[in-house]
Structure 1
Amino acid sequence: MILRRVIAHFRKQEWTAIAIDFLIVVFGVFFGIQVANWNAAEADRRAEAGYLLQLQRDIGAIKAELLAQVEFEQYQATLASELFEETREPPSVLRNRRIRIGLSQLSGRRTLRVESPTFVDLQGAGRLDVISDAALRDALIGYFYRTSRIVAGLDKNNAFFIDDSFTGFLRDNNFTYRPWDVDVMGSDEPPRPVLATEFRTKVLSGPLFSAEIGPLDGAPNGPVADEIITRLSWRAFISAQNESLAQQLLTLTSDIEAKLAAEISERRT
């Protein structure tokens, strides 16, 4: 319709009308582009707000995971020290059972995973730039990079010092696994790296885990007992190291959590 009008004005040499039609077209295109840009920007702002909330939830879950890790490592280090004291006691059935149960507990370790599905999704899709605040975006990238390095160190500690060294020693010296016994140990169940299912509880309460097999019936200062003390010292040290790494991650996590909260709060005002 506009084109027909322009042609008609041109044939009649109505230059003012032609100019008006031209301006109508130009401004129409301009405003159309502006509206499209505004809609796109508004959609990006809504998407960013949603991602920030999701990241905040992910960071909250990571913090809870780290607190559980700290609790577990502190318990393991304390238990190793208590078992050292137990090895100094005169041989007895109760003493031996406590040491066996304690060593079994110390053979367990907790695998730490600090992950944000939201960050992985944004990074994988190449959409990290949806976070418009460059400082916050860089802080998130730096946080997850440092986190991955620290978790790798903790995994290495677990694999070498616990899986290979500590558990390997128990296996090589015929220390059978003993589930936690509240009455024998005189304390509640320790924090568990895995969930206790009905089937797991049934298996661990069977006769296989009550058979008296192992070299711990001798004097507390015998060769095996001396080796146990050495292993306990390393086990306590590794839990202390892992606890320190988890505390470092907690500090980093609290910092990025505060930055996210500040950004979200600013957008709401």
Structure 2
Amino acid sequence: MIFRRIKAHVEKENWFAVGIDFAIVVVGVFIGLQVANWNEVRSENERVASQLASFRAELILARDYFVAAQAYLDDRIEGVATLRHRLEQDDDFPEEEFNPLVASAVRGDSFNMAFRGYEELTTTGAISKITDARLRDLLHQWDAQLTFINNTDVVIADIRANLVTPAVLYGTNFANALQTDGRYSDFTVANRFEFDIEDIRANRTLDGALAYQQVQTKLQLNTINDFIATTEALIVALGEKDT
């Protein structure tokens, strides 16, 4: 209808009216674009808020896993420390006490922690939309700690596969040790070699491998402790953003 009015005003050479009509058209287009932009921004903000809420829920559910990871690493560190301490002493170290400790030393589980909610935030570019500087800093710190934990996983697995396991296989009666693990006792045959604790104590390669594993595991535990603290701060910050 506006274009018919413009045409009529042009035919009558009413240029003032034509100017007003054009101004109305321009203002209308501008308002339409602004409304579209506002709707797009609102939709984007709602999407980011939904992703952040999902990520927060994922972190809350992961709390139990973090506690289990702490307990597992504490147990690994204590087990290797006890084994090395007993090997350093001159007192009796009977085979039935040695075997469970050396079997535990080669046991290892990988964390390889991944969070789908955080991956979604990064792949969709939602993180770049977060304007809260403190929240962005927490996310950056959390991501750096997670990366370090997963990288240390690789290092520890490499130490176990290439240092600890070969040293245990060649330096101990590992078949006997493995029988102390209920998962394998039914098919593991005890070896025929005599248990010689003094020979094991003199094995520098074994001691070095165990010490290296102990240090790396302690480093990973320290990082997980920091990671848990950062996660808790992140949960609080994300909760405050929702309110």
What TM-score do you get using the length of structure 1 for normalisation? 0.72
1:75-110 deviations in whole A, cap 9, x for unaligned? 12222344454886647xxx4233223211221123
Q: % of aligned pairs identical?
A: 21
Over 3 Å counting, the alpha-carbon distance change for 1:82 and 1:73 in structure 2 is same
User: Which stretch of the first structure deviates more once superposed, 147-156 or 23-32?
Assistant: 147-156
> How many Å separate the matches in 2 of 1:236 and 1:69?
21
Per the alignment, residue 189 of structure 1 pairs with: none
Q: Is residue 165 of structure 1 aligned with residue 163 of structure 2?
A: yes
Q: Report if aligned partners of 2:76, 2:105 keep a CA contact under 8 Å in 1.
A: yes
1:119-159 CA-to-partner distances (Å, cap 9, x unmatched) read: 33333344432323344334423432343234323431341
Inter-partner Cα distance in structure 1 for 2:28 and 2:235: 40
1: CA distance, partners of 2:59 / 2:214: 24
Residue 35 of structure 1: how far off its partner (Å): 1.1
Indicate whether 1:255 and 2:224 are aligned.
no
Alignment partner of 1:21 is 2:21: yes
Structure 2 Cα separation of the partners of residues 238 and 135 of structure 1: 36
Task: Give the Cα–Cα distance (whole angstroms) in 2 for the partners of residues 143 and 13 of structure 1.
Answer: 69
Report how far residue 42 of structure 1 moved.
0.9
Change (3 A) 1:224 1:39: same
Q: Deviations over 1:157-207 (max 9, x none)?
A: 3412x22222112222451122436xxxxxxxxxxxxxxxxxxx4xx242x
- Decide whether aligned partners of structure 1 residues 74 and 142 sit closer, same or farther in structure 2, where only a CA change above 3 A counts: closer
Structure 2 residues not aligned, in runs of 5+: none
Aligned to 1:74: 74
Q: Equivalences for 1:23-62 in 2 at 5 Å?
A: 23-60=23-60
Count of equivalent residues: 238
1:141 matched residue in structure 2 = 140
Distance 1:169 1:226, change over 3 A: same
In 1, are the aligned partners of 2:145 and 2:223 still within 8 Å (CA)? no
- Partner of 2:174 in structure 1? 175
| 1:22-60 superposed Cα distances (whole Å, 9 cap, x missing partner) | 232122112211211111111111111112122223444
Q: Over aligned residue pairs, what C-alpha RMSD do you find? A: 3.2
Closer, same or farther: CA 145–80 of 1 in aligned 2, 3 Å:
closer
Give the AA of the match of 2:161.
D
1:1-269 equivalence runs, <5 A = 1-60=1-60, 63-83=63-83, 84-85=85-86, 90=92, 95-160=94-159, 162-173=160-171, 174-176=173-175, 177-180=178-181, 201=183, 204-206=184-186, 208-209=187-188, 211-213=189-191, 215-218=193-196, 220=197, 222-227=198-203, 231=206, 235=210, 238-239=213-214, 241-268=216-243
Distance 1:88 1:62 in 2: 44
Query: Does the 8 Å contact 2:130/2:136 carry over to 1?
Result: yes
Matched letter for residue 249 of structure 1 = I
Q: CA deviation at 1:19?
A: 3.7
Tell me the equivalent position of 1:188: none
Q: Which deviates further from its counterpart, 28-37 or 59-68?
A: 59-68
